[in-house]
């Protein structure tokens, strides 16, 4: 897979297929490998670009502790310019969904449409449950520094109901860049995009696995309800974050349907 030197760093990416550009952004600490089922499927009809964001996989180092998501999204803008892509559909799962929202808010001229999967838009707690969720996220951030073999084994246990997700995530975890992943986790524990989401009027696809992590559906419902371009929240049953690996066929069918609508507009 190729590399591009952009925005003062190196970005590892894949670029397959032709047609409407579809950009795939992975979950926290993961790599573009978690999109292999979708790269294989959607490159039959679309130009599919998947990246390792700065601080992940084979891409450049994530330095500093501030403006992390903003720097990572700027990397993508520069990569799209490098690839001579004027506009794309931006699709992110989990952390990638946060990235995708920030990208569309900051660079609307680069976006045909938005896909937010298994993610959230704010960490400002509005009740006790949300406060406890946020506390748990902060307490869990240092877990990224645990031995990779432990984390890999944990992935196999958590995802034992979903063999493809278990296999992929346990492998990806062995490549985890712990300190940089912890930086990103702490950064996304302090976001509040909800007041800005009313600016996203492009077609938007929102989906979430159920059952998933605590409050996943309610957080995604807030996002779907606030984005004017989103007509509904799709619930993917018997799924966990990331739904693109836990329910591959269901996820692919939903995304195909969304992209087909874009092609007929």
Query: Domain for residue 100, yes or no?
Result: yes
Which pLDDT value is given to residue 264?
A: 63
For the domain that residue 34 is a member of, what is the CATH number?
A: 3.40.50.1820
Query: Domain for residue 31, yes or no?
Result: yes
Which pLDDT value is given to residue 97?
A: 98
Query: Domain for residue 154, yes or no?
Result: no
Query: Domain for residue 115, yes or no?
Result: yes
d(CA 9, CA 62): 9
Q: Residue 87: what are its φ and ψ, rounded to 5°?
A: -140, 155
Low-confidence ranges of the chain (pLDDT < 50): none
Query: Domain for residue 136, yes or no?
Result: no
Strand, helix or coil for residue 26? coil
Strand, helix or coil for residue 61? coil
Which pLDDT value is given to residue 143?
A: 84
Give the total number of structural domains in the chain.
Answer: 1
Domain of 40 in residue numbering reads as 3-124+192-264
Would the CA dihedral through 45, 263, 31, 2 be positive or negative? positive
Which residues are CB-contacts of 8 (< 8 A; sequence separation ≥ 6)? Answer: none
Predicted TM-score (pTM) of the model is 0.95
Which residues are CB-contacts of 255 (< 8 A; sequence separation ≥ 6)? Answer: 38, 42, 91, 115, 205
Which pLDDT value is given to residue 135?
A: 80
d(CA 243, CA 54): 23
Query: Domain for residue 142, yes or no?
Result: no
d(CA 19, CA 251): 20
Strand, helix or coil for residue 80? helix
């Amino acid at each position: 897979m190729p590399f591009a030197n952009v925005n003062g760093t190196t970005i590892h990416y894949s670029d397959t297929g032709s047609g409407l550009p579809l950009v795939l952004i992975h979950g926290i600490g993961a790599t573009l490998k978690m999109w292999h089922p979708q790269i294989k499927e959607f490159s039959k009809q679309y130009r599919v670009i998947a990246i390792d964001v700065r601080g992940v996989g084979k891409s450049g180092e994530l330095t500093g502790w501030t403006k992390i998501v903003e720097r990572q999204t700027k990397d993508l803008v520069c990569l799209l310019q490098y690839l001579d892509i004027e506009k794309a559909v931006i699709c992110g799962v989990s952390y990638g969904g946060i990235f995708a929202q920030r990208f569309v808010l900051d660079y609307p001229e680069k976006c045909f449409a938005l896909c937010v999967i298994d993610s959230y838009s704010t960490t400002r707690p509005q009740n006790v449950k949300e406060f406890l969720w946020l506390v748990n996220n902060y307490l869990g951030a240092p877990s990224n520094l645990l031995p990779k073999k432990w984390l890999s084994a944990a992935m196999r246990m958590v995802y034992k109901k979903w063999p493809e997700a278990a296999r992929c995530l346990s492998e990806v975890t062995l490549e985890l860049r712990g300190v940089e992943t912890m930086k990103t986790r702490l950064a996304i524990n302090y976001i509040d995009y909800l007041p800005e989401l009313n600016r996203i009027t492009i077609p938007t696809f929102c989906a979430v696995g159920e059952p998933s992590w605590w409050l996943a559906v309610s957080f995604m419902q807030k996002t779907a309800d606030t984005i004017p371009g989103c007509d509904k929240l799709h619930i993917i049953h018997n799924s966990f974050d990331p739904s693109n690996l836990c329910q591959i066929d269901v996820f692919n069918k939903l995304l195909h349907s969304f992209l087909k609508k874009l092609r007929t507009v």
